[in-house]
Amino acid sequence: MPLRFKGVAHPPPRRDGRRENPADMSAGEIATANLGLSGGTQLLYEHDHGQRVGHVTSSWEGPRGELRVSGVVTDPQTERDVRSGQTRGLSLGTSVITGEAGQRIHAQTDELSLCAEPRRGGCYVTELEGRSVHRAATFAKPRGKPLTR
């Protein structure tokens, strides 16, 4: 039976609009992303194009400006790895076309991968079958009150 998940595929972009990497998404790209279009962006394991393990069903901009996704894992081994917590990272696979001077001309999301450790911070599966499986707590020094998201 397929495993349904939700998670964060891209953190909020920098406030100054600059990119750390040419593959990083801008606020406008996150706001208009539609990874569930045409049957959904393919879901891979560790960016291995020979191992499709499911698909993305939808994407949307989260409350902090992050790119959130929902999807389905159809591969039994990957499903076991996600359920066990061994594979809960999310990583976008993006093709980038640059000019001769290295400037970004065009980028497109090719796939989303489940992985052990995402390259971008905070990109994890956060829900499995509607149940929360990932929380981050931060503690403000002045007040010492925990904040969860």
The per-residue pLDDT for range 56-82, each reduced to its tens digit, is 999 999 999 999 999 999 999 999 999
- The CA–CA distances, whole Å, from 130 to 6, 24, 35 equal 8, 28, 20
Q: Give me the half-sphere count of Cα atoms (radius 13 Å) on the Cβ side of residue 99.
A: 4
Domain residue limits, the chain: 3-131
Structure tokens at 88: 């809960």
How confident is the model at residue 135, as a pLDDT?
A: 74
Percent pLDDT > 90 in the chain is 82
Tell me: the pLDDT tens digits for 112-144?
999 999 999 999 999 999 999 987 666 655 655
- Domain 3-131, CATH: 3.20.16.10
pTM: 0.86
Helix or strand (DSSP H, E) at 94: strand 89-98
